[in-house]
A and B are shown apart, each in its own frame.
Chain A
Amino acid sequence: QLEESGGGLVQPGGSLRLSCAASGFTFSSNWMHWVRQAPGKGLVWVSRITSDGSNTNYADSVRGRFTISRDNAKNTLYLQMNSLRAEDTAVYYCARDAFCGGDCFDYWGQGTLVSVSS
């Protein structure tokens, strides 16, 4: 099970940290991802982190502003979001990597809504 938290309303230029609490599996064994979905729009991959946290990757649209991290002792994934823009408004999902080739996501949280507006 994956459960996101930390979403809310923030002004442009502001910051927010999302959390994703994992349970029911060995969290430290899986790569993890963040995927977002703007209201009424499609899915967009945001970021990936390896199982030990040593490597991270980002979509061009968030690189330099967002930071993915994890605490395997707490079974928790994070997304630090800085310099937020209106176009970052979306439901943010955390998703477990299913060990398939090229990334695929077998478990998803229910999402947390981030709204960026003045």
Chain B
Amino acid sequence: QSALTQPRSVSGSPGQSVTISCTGTSSDVGGYNYVSWYQQHPGKAPKLMIYEVNKRPSGVPDRFSGSKSGNTASLTISGLQAEDEADYYCCSYAGRYIVMFGGGTELTVL
């Protein structure tokens, strides 16, 4: 069970857009539309931002959007704000009742 592959870090200036990728295989990301994304600020519990590839829970700003193409899912944050600076994790169902997370991406708002 290897973790999904995410870039270690991304950065952007306030107001810009950034995209975080999450690459898996046909057995996980590519095999199911069951990708979710979590935001985690230092010392805090993770927060659900996107589920089932592109659905937003109530209360999550529409600046956050998700997509998927083949074995790669993406989280896009538009209109970047200082409070978006955090770690972001993707997560996918991997069959056989197993769930996998990505290694995490540190977002820096310049």
Contacts and interface: CB of A to CB of B under 8 A. Distances in A.
- Secondary structure at the A interface, as helix, strand, loop or mixed, is loop
B64 interface: no
A106 B50 CA distance: 10
A101 B89 contact: no
Contacts of B104: 42-43
Interface residues of B, number: 28
Contact of B46 (A61, A101, A103, A108): A108
Contacts of A103: 34, 36, 91, 93, 99
A35 B46 CA distance: 10
B94 to A, nearest CB: 9
B48 interface: yes
Nearest to B34: A102
Contacts of B103: 42
By size class, the interface of chain A is 20 to 34
A102 B92 CA distance: 7
11 contacts: A42-B89, A43-B91, A48-B97, A93-B46, A98-B51, A98-B57, A100-B34, A100-B51, A101-B33, A101-B51, A105-B36
B1 interface: yes
B97 to A, nearest CB: 4
